[in-house]
Each structure stands twice: as structure tokens, then as C-alpha cells.
């Protein structure tokens, strides 16, 4: 039987339905893999395009574990472009203000959608499925805040596995995120609340100390957003990390004698001092000096663009020095690249906004 595009058999949703959906998601991922997309666009495709039908089905049925594993593997391979995952998957699913991209947590979001559907049925007195849901929930109905003014009726001694999992998930949400209303909060936000306690103390420190919203803003070019995000988590391929992996033989900076780290490249290297001096004096009043001294990011859009482009230029200069095998300390090439980054983005914005950008 096919109802609203969903194929059912005597046991529930037909297994062929999940198989076809997994194949469709894999085919969509293969088509999108040919495009060089920034991380924010890849997250949008994964959440809204690839998983759209999954979210629809998850409201009425729990996907099988094999399907969840297959889809999750396809999505993460697409996001990382078949390369090494630089951060944990919990970090990637965090909200933007916490340093994540809000990447879909397939297993968590699917279970939360089913929980929200169950609560919606239980809280609607005239819903035709309410009596059956009350029976399956059993004596746990009081913990769900269900109105029990009428007769209690029969209760199942042992809830089915799907209901039992939903009840456990409800208890976890009440304990970890009591400030959220489960019935009205988006499933993605509820999933993020469940993932935050899984972070390590180091990840929590990085998540709270970096201006994620301003330096990964959608107003910045995609390559600058991706660069700042990697810099914020300290996953740029600097020599201190490459030495730990056994990729290079030394952690010495290619432009000086210091130890190269993510912080060293943009603020401590010999090349950075005259560069930041020129930028600070050329753009007075934008908060560049305060950012360099205290790490306080200004709120202006152009100031954020200037800081992100400046740090990206310093990183590209470091990459050129590694590629050419010699030190690159000239100031004018850096300033020329910075001007090119700024002008290119501003011209694109002027073209897209038209008279609104004037």
C-alpha cells in the first residue's frame, strides 16, 4: 500500500523504501561532488536537499541502523570531499555560534522527529491515534506531560522498542536541555543540545573563545569562511601538526626560525609584524589594533572582511614559501594580494546588490 508517497507492508514501511532512498541520496551526493562548494553550501545541500525525504519519513517511522550508517557515511564523505575528517562529527553538528556548521546528525534528528510526532499525537485530545499511542506509552505517560483528566484506559506492560527509545530520548532532553520546549523547538536544535555534552574540555574552550559568527559570516567569501573556521579549530596543516603525523621532518616556520603553529602563521611570524603595522595604520578606526592586542573582533562587516582577508593572505604566503622552498618576506606582494581580495569581493557585492550596494 502506498500512502502519501510512502510504501507500507504488513510490518510497516517497506524495506525497499529505505533501500531506494539510500540509493537516491548516494546518487545526489555523487552529482554534487563534482562542484567545489564552500562548507556552508555543502551543509545546506546535506540538510535540505539530500536528507529532505528522510526527515519526512522519520516523522512516522524509525530508519533502520544499516540505512542510518550508509547515509551518514555518504554525507560526511561529501562534506570532507573524500579527505580526512579534521574535527569530530559532534563539532561539525554544533550551531554556528559554537563553531559548527549545523551539519545534520542523521540518527539523532530522525529519532527526535519521531519523538516530536509522538508528543504531538499525545497532546491532541481529538487525534484519532491518541488512544493507541497512550496504550503503547504505558505508565510513562505522566512523565510526558499528557493531560489525564479522562479515564486512563489500558496500558502496555512493556512499550515497543520504538516507543521505549523515544521515552529514553525524552528523559535525556529533560535532563540536558530543560530550557528547550521539545514540541516547538526544531529537531536540529534539540540534536545540538544532546551533542554539546559530548565535547572535550579542549573543544569547549575553542568553541567559546573564537568569534565564529563574525569571522565565518555569510557576508564573507566562501574561501575566507572556510579558512577562518579551520584556523579557529586549529586544524590548518601547519608544520607542528604535520610533524606529529610524520609528514615533515621539522616544525620550523618556512619564513623564520620559530616553531610554526596556527597562531604563529598569522600573528607571531617575522612576516606578520610589518604587514599588520601597515594594515593597522591604513585602516584606522576599524578595530584592527584591538583585535591584534586582545583578540576582540570588531562588528563591522568591512572590518571582518579586512581581518579575514589579511590572515588568509598571510597563510597563502606561508604556503607559497613551502612550495618554493625559500623564505618570502617581501611586504608589497602581501599588500597586493590583500587589495585583490578586498576589491574582488566588493566588486562582486556591488554587482549583485546593484543600487542597494551604493
Condensed to tens digits (0 to 9), the pLDDT of residues 163-193 reads 888 889 999 999 999 999 998 999 999 999 9
Residue 42 pLDDT greater than 90, yes or no: yes
Q: Is the pTM of this model over 0.85?
A: yes
The grid cell for 249 is 621532518
Cβ atoms of 173 and 190 closer than 8 Å: yes
Count of positions (residues) in the chain: 358
Euclidean distance between CA atoms 243 and 240, whole angstroms: 5
pLDDT of residue 79: 96
Could you give the residue ranges of the DSSP H alpha helices within the chain? 15-32, 39-44, 52-58, 65-79, 89-92, 106-123, 130-137, 161-176, 187-195, 201-209, 212-215, 222-232, 239-245, 262-263, 272-282, 288-294, 301-324, 331-353
The answer to whether residue 307 scores a pLDDT higher than 70 is yes
- Average pLDDT rounded to a whole number, residues 94-104: 94
- Whether the pLDDT of residue 353 is over 60: the answer is yes
**What does the pLDDT read at residue 205?**
93
pLDDT-wise least confident of 18-22, 35-39, 130-134, 297-301? 130-134
Q: Is the confidence at residue 213, as pLDDT, over 90?
A: yes
Q: Rounded to whole angstroms, how far apart are CA atoms 163 and 247?
A: 50
pLDDT at position 237 over 80:
yes
Q: Which of 158, 73, 161, 179 is nearest to 114 (CA)?
A: 161
Averaged pLDDT for residues 235-241: 95
288 pLDDT higher than 90: yes
Q: Mean pLDDT throughout 19-46? A: 94
**How confident is the model over 308-328, as a mean pLDDT?**
96
pLDDT at res. 110: 93
CA distance 134 to 147: 11
Q: Which residue has the cell 530522525?
A: 110
Residue 9 scores a pLDDT above 90 = no
The percentage of residues in the chain with a pLDDT greater than 90, rounded to a whole number, is 71
What distance separates the 2 farthest-apart alpha carbons in the chain? 82
The pLDDT value given to residue 358: 54
What is the arithmetic mean of pLDDT over 302-320? Answer: 97
Q: Does the pLDDT at position 1 exceed 80?
A: no
Percent of the chain with pLDDT over 70: 96
All three cell numbers of 78, joined, read: 561529501
pLDDT at 346: 94
Is the confidence at residue 357, as pLDDT, over 60?
no
Three-state secondary structure call for residue 80? coil
Amino acid at each position: 500500500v502506498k500512502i502519501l508517497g510512502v510504501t507500507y507492508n504488513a510490518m510497516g514501511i517497506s524495506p525497499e523504501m529505505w533501500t531506494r532512498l539510500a540509493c537516491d541520496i548516494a546518487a545526489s551526493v555523487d552529482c554534487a561532488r563534482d562542484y567545489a562548494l564552500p562548507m556552508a553550501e555543502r551543509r545546506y545541500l546535506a540538510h535540505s536537499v539530500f536528507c529532505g525525504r528522510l526527515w519526512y519519513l522519520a516523522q512516522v517511522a524509525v530508519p533502520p541502523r544499516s540505512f542510518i550508517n550508509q547515509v551518514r557515511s555518504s554525507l560526511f564523505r561529501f562534506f570532507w570531499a573524500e579527505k580526512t575528517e579534521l574535527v569530530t562529527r559532534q563539532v561539525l553538528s554544533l550551531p554556528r555560534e559554537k563553531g559548527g556548521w549545523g551539519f545534520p546528525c542523521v540518527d539523532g534528528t530522525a529519532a527526535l522527529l519521531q519523538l516530536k510526532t509522538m508528543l504531538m499525537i499525545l497532546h491532541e485530545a481529538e487525534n484519532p491515534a491518541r488512544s493507541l499511542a497512550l496504550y503503547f506509552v504505558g505508565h510513562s505517560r505522566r512523565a510526558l506531560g499528557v493531560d489525564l483528566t479522562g479515564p486512563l484506559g489500558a496500558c502496555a506492560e512493556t512499550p515497543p522498542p520504538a516507543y521505549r527509545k523515544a521515552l529514553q530520548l525524552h528523559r535525556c532532553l529533560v535532563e540536558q536541555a530543560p530550557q528547550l520546549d521539545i514540541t516547538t523547538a526544531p529537531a536540529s536544535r534539540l540534536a545540538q543540545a544532546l551533542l554539546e555534552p559530548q565535547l572535550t574540555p579542549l573543544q569547549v574552550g575553542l568553541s567559546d573563545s573564537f568569534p565564529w559568527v563574525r569571522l565565518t559570516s555569510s557576508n564573507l567569501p566562501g574561501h575566507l569562511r572556510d579558512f577562518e573556521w579551520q584556523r579557529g579549530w586549529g586544524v590548518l596543516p601547519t608544520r607542528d601538526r604535520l610533524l606529529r603525523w610524520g609528514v615533515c621532518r621539522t616544525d620550523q616556520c618556512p619564513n623564520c626560525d620559530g616553531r610554526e603553529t596556527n597562531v604563529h602563521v598569522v600573528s607571531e611570524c617575522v612576516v606578520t609584524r610589518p604587514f599588520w603595522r601597515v594594515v593597522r595604520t591604513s585602516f584606522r578606526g576599524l578595530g584592527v589594533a584591538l583585535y591584534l592586542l586582545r583578540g576582540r573582533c570588531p562588528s563591522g562587516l568591512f572590518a571582518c572582511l579586512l581581518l579575514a582577508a589579511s590572515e588568509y593572505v598571510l597563510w597563502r604566503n606561508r604556503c607559497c614559501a613551502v612550495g618554493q622552498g625559500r623564505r618570502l618576506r617581501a611586504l608589497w606582494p602581501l599588500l597586493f594580494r590583500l587589495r585583490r581580495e578586498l576589491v574582488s569581493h566588493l566588486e562582486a557585492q556591488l554587482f549583485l546588490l546593484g543600487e542597494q550596494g551604493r
